[in-house]
Amino acid sequence: MTNTFRIIVIGGIVLILAVLFGATHVDVGSDRFIVPPDVVVSPSEVYLAEPNPIFDGEGGDAAIDGLVDRVRDGVKNAEVPAEPLRIEKESPSSYVSWPGIVAFTNSARREHGLAPLRTNEKLKAAAEVKVYDMFASGYFAHSSPSGAKVGDLVEQKSYGYIVVGENLAMGNFENDEELVDGWMASPGHRANILNPRFQEIGAAVREGMYEGRRTWMAVQIFGLPLSACASPDGEILGTIESNKVELANMRKKLDVERSEIDGMTPKNGSAYTEKIESYNIHVGEYNILVDETKELIDRYNVQVNEFNECAEG
C-alpha cells in the first residue's frame, strides 16, 4: 500500500503539516510530487517555513534603503550659466524692458524653429531679486558675494526645476533688440536662448549706478520645470517606506518565535505542532508582504527611469 501526505502552500512557502512514514508521493490538488525513496520522514516531524529575503542578494532593510536612495537621486537639477555680457557704450536714449527682452528672445527662437518660451512669474521674481542684488551688493556675476546662484534664487521662489539657465547683461544698450542681439552674438548666451529643453522664462531689468557710472543691468532666467516630466508616484514610495518598517517589525517577531520553537522540548506533541503552525502562518504573511513590496519597487523604478529619460532630454 502506498502512503501519501498532503501539503499546504502559504505565500509561496511549502509547509508540510502532516506526514506518514514511508510515503512515496505527495498530492497537492491535481499535482503529484515524487519523494525520493531514500528520504526518511519522521511521523512526528513538522517542517518550518523560511522567510524570504527582502531583495535577492541583499540584506533586508539595506536593500530597500538602497533602492529608495537611488530613487531620490534620480532627480538631477542642473544650472546653465553663461559668462555675463558687458558692453562699454554710451547711449543717452538707452532704454530696455523685460517684456521687450522676452519678445525678442522668442523671435530668435522662432527663427530657429523652436517653440517660444512661456513667461513664468516665479522665474520673473527670481530675476528681479538678482538684478536688484547686483546693484545693491556691487557685483556683476552669476554667483553673489554670499555664494547664491541661479538655482538658489529659483528655489527661494519655490520653482521646482530640472534644469535652469541664466543670462546676464550690463551696458547702455539702445533698446531691447540690441541687447538680445548682443546675447545672440555670444556663444554661451545664444546656447541658452536656443536651448530646446527650456520651456519657461523670467526676465528683469534695472538702471542704476555701478562702478561710478549709470548703466542698465538685465537678467534672463530660463527653466525646464519639474512638471515637464511625469514624476514618480509619491504614494508608491510612501507605501514602500511603510512596508519597510512593517517588514522589519514582522521579522523581529518571527525571530523571537523561531527562537522559542528551537528552545522547546520535546520537539513533538500538540503544543509544539501548534507553535510551528502559527509560525508558518506568520512567515506566509511576511512573504506575501515581501512580494508585494518587491512589485512596488519594480513599478516605482520603472517610473524613475522614465522620469530620468525625460529629464535628460
The model carries a pTM of 0.65
What is the 3-state secondary structure of 185-225?
CCHHHHHHHCCCCCCEEEEEEEEEEECCEEEEEEEEEEEEE
CA dihedral 144, 149, 150, 156 (to 10 degrees): -90
Fold of 82-228: Pathogenesis-related Protein p14a (3.40.33)
pLDDT in tens, 142-180: 999 999 999 999 999 999 988 899 999 999 999 999 999
Choose the most confident range, by mean pLDDT, from 126-130, 271-275, 307-311: 126-130
pLDDT in tens, 176-217: 999 999 999 999 999 999 999 999 999 999 999 999 999 999
